[in-house]
Amino acid sequence: EVHLVESGGTLVQPGGSLRLSCAASGFTFSSHSITWVRQAPGKGLEWVANIKQDENERYYVDSVKGRFTISRDNAKNSVYLQMNSLRAEDTAVYYCARDYFFYIDVWGKGTTVTVSS
Amino acid sequence: QSALTQPPSASGSPGQSVTISCTGTSSDVGGYNYVSWFQQHPGKAPKLIIYEVTTRPSGVPDRFSGSKSGNTASLTVSGLQAEDEADYYCCSYAGSSSYVFGTGTKVTVL
């Protein structure tokens, strides 16, 4: 069974940094792009970033460019989201999800990031 | 990267049908046959119910169906059941490995 588990979410002060992790299992991890999607409290879903299978291509929504970095370790079946210069508007549940060739199919349960002083 | 437009709410009685629209542009919905739909119950992760405009993943009831015309995609839930009460989001591939989601529709079963 395909499984994605996020971790690393916590309370952080504005301007701070945080690294989220996503551990995958149940599929050939190195064959799939992985995506991060976030959902602010009471709001809709927002695509955040995507990393291709071999890590050579990474894409970001404009609002996080220059602040967030997505990376992966295929040997550990893991994806990471390094978040710097965090703002209150980055407060959200962050989901990692498998990219199944032009659509997102399986999601993790999410990890909560709260940016507040 | 503007969100796709969905109605905020939709409702129907058990057994009835509801249809949710999802309007984008020629750069997303109209440009690709990669529209998907997700169902999200409160406090839960989204669940894929339609992909590639019309295809249902294994295990998703055939009460759920999708379509697309031009820049607008639609999800129809037929034979509404109590467990269908949830938030529904459309999503379109938007090029360069990016995606854009809809604003979300809360479906209420009366």
Question: Given its phi and psi angles, is residue B24 left (phi above 0), alpha (psi -120 to 50 degrees) or beta?
Answer: beta
Report d(CA B89, CA B79) in Å as an integer.
Answer: 19
Q: What is the mean pLDDT of residues A57-77?
A: 96
Residue A55 has pLDDT above 90, yes or no: no
B82 contacts chain A (CB < 8 A): no
pLDDT at A87 (0 to 100) = 98
Cα–Cα separations (whole angstroms), residue A92 to A25, A114, B6: 24, 7, 21
Which amino acid is it at A53? Q
* The total number of residues written for chain B in this structure: 110
- What six digits make up the tokens of B97? 């490995």
Instruction: Tell me how close the Cα of A9 comes to any Cα of chain B, in angstroms.
Output: 16
Q: Spell out the residues 6+ positions from residue A75 whose beta carbon is closer than 8 angstroms to its own.
A: none
Partners of residue A106 in chain B, C-beta under 8 Å: 48
A106 contacts chain B (CB < 8 A): yes
User: A101 or A4: which carries more pLDDT confidence?
Assistant: A4
Residue B96 binned pLDDT confidence (cut-offs 50, 70, 90): confident
Instruction: Tell me how close the Cα of A37 comes to any Cα of chain B, in angstroms.
Output: 10
Residue A26 has pLDDT above 80, yes or no: yes
Query: Chains A and B: how many Cβ contacts under 8 Å?
Result: 63
pLDDT at A54 (0 to 100) = 82
Greatest Cα pair distance in chain A: 41
Q: Which residue of B has its CA nearest to A5?
A: B45
* The total number of residues written for chain A in this structure: 117
Across chain B, what does the average pLDDT equal? Answer: 96
Identify each DSSP E strand in A1-117 by its residue range: 3-7, 11-12, 18-25, 33-39, 45-51, 58-60, 68-73, 78-83, 92-99, 104-107, 111-115
- What six digits make up the tokens of A34? 């992985």
Say if residue B42 is exposed, middle or buried (CB neighbours under 10 Å; 0-12, 13-18, 19+): exposed
A94 contacts chain B (CB < 8 A): no
Report d(CA B43, CA B79) in Å as an integer.
Answer: 25
Residue B15 binned pLDDT confidence (cut-offs 50, 70, 90): very high
Partners of residue A5 in chain B, C-beta under 8 Å: none
B57 contacts chain A (CB < 8 A): yes
pLDDT exceeding 90 applies to what percent of chain B? Answer: 96
Partners of residue B91 in chain A, C-beta under 8 Å: 45, 47, 103-104
Q: Which residue of A has its CA nearest to B103?
A: A44
Q: What is the mean pLDDT of residues B44-70?
A: 97
Which amino acid is it at A97? A
pLDDT digits (tens, 9 = 90+) for A77-115: 999 999 999 999 999 999 999 999 899 999 999 999 999
Nearest by Cα to A99 from B25, B98, B62: B98
